[in-house]
Amino acid sequence: MTAVAGRGWTRVGPHPAIAAWAAAARQAALDHLAVTQEAWRCGGTWFVGVDALPNAPDGAIADTPFPWPALPLTPEPLHKAQLSVIRPGYPQPSAEETPAAFAFRRDRDAAHLDGLLPIGPDKRRMVKEPHGWILGLPLNDAPACPLTVWEGSHDILRAALLTALAGHAPETWGDIDITEPYQQARREIFATCPRIELSARPGEATLLHRLTLHGVAAWKPQDHAPPEGRMIAYLRPQLATVQQWLTAP
């Protein structure tokens, strides 16, 4: 991850190969939205769309190849891309979130570290999905609700989690409760790291270090998007172990 090792993120493009893939993925996304039964979250303003896009393991959609040559990444097998769609008014209160969780989404962009899942009735955070990298590919021209990142946060989170897990065998790291050190590191990040809004257009991509704290900005009064809403495809291939997730560059 040398391309993002310093600040934890980079913007790629514009590049015609990325634009071609985004155009193919946009049509696939519109087709999916037309028939899906999946519920929209956050009061009907956010479609999560996990595994929603029909890309092949090499990333291609129909006859359009994935733009590996335009990206600072080594080709590898890919899961079906997530389709994240946001409508005007995001976020809205909903029964699926407590008032505190909604306030955190509204005021702190629901800032999170990918790979941590809420486990058990008390929703304790554990590393269950150790992603290798996080790639966002905008599918339409919509400046609304950009991806937000806290620059340099990957270094703080790496140090905090390695310290918390130091007394445990690496093969058990995915089963260790890291809720408190994660939350403490997040507070430090909010106090010390610049918050960056990473807007991008079709033909561009955003690439995050896997340990970068990130979220989504709330819809502002001046924001706008096409009728389908702001659409971005996300890819996060997984690593083999939590140890690799925390120690690789």
Mean pLDDT of 31-40: 94
Residue 190: closest CA among 127, 249, 112, 103? 112
Q: Is the predicted pLDDT of residue 90 greater than 80, yes or no?
A: yes
Interval 108-143: pLDDT, tens: 999 999 999 999 999 999 999 999 999 999 999 999
Banded pLDDT at 3 (limits 50, 70, 90): confident
Look at the pTM and tell me if it is higher than 0.75: yes
Encoding tokens for residue 69?
């040559």
Could you give phi then psi for residue 40, rounded to 5 degrees? -85, 140
pLDDT score for 1: 59
Indicate the pLDDT class of residue 171, thresholds 50, 70 and 90: very high
Contact 242, 169 (CB under 8 A): no
Residue 171, number of CB atoms within 10 A of its CB: 10
Band the pLDDT of 5: cuts 50, 70, 90. Answer: confident
Mean pLDDT of 234-248: 97
- Please say if the pLDDT value at position 4 is more than 90: no
Query: What pLDDT digit, counting tens, does each position of 191-229 carry?
Result: 999 999 999 999 999 999 999 999 999 999 999 999 999
What pLDDT is recorded for position 208? 98
- Contact residues for 5 (Cβ-Cβ < 8 A; gap 6+): 209, 249
Instruction: Give the Cα separation of 134 and 64 in Å (integer).
Output: 21
Residue 102 has pLDDT above 80, yes or no: yes
Would the pLDDT of 34 be above 90? yes
CA dihedral over 114, 143, 6, 3, signed as positive or negative: positive
Q: DSSP of 41-88, one letter per residue?
A: BTTTTEE--TT-S---TTS-BTTB---GGGSSS-----PPPEEEEE-T
User: Is 164 a residue whose pLDDT tops 80?
Assistant: yes
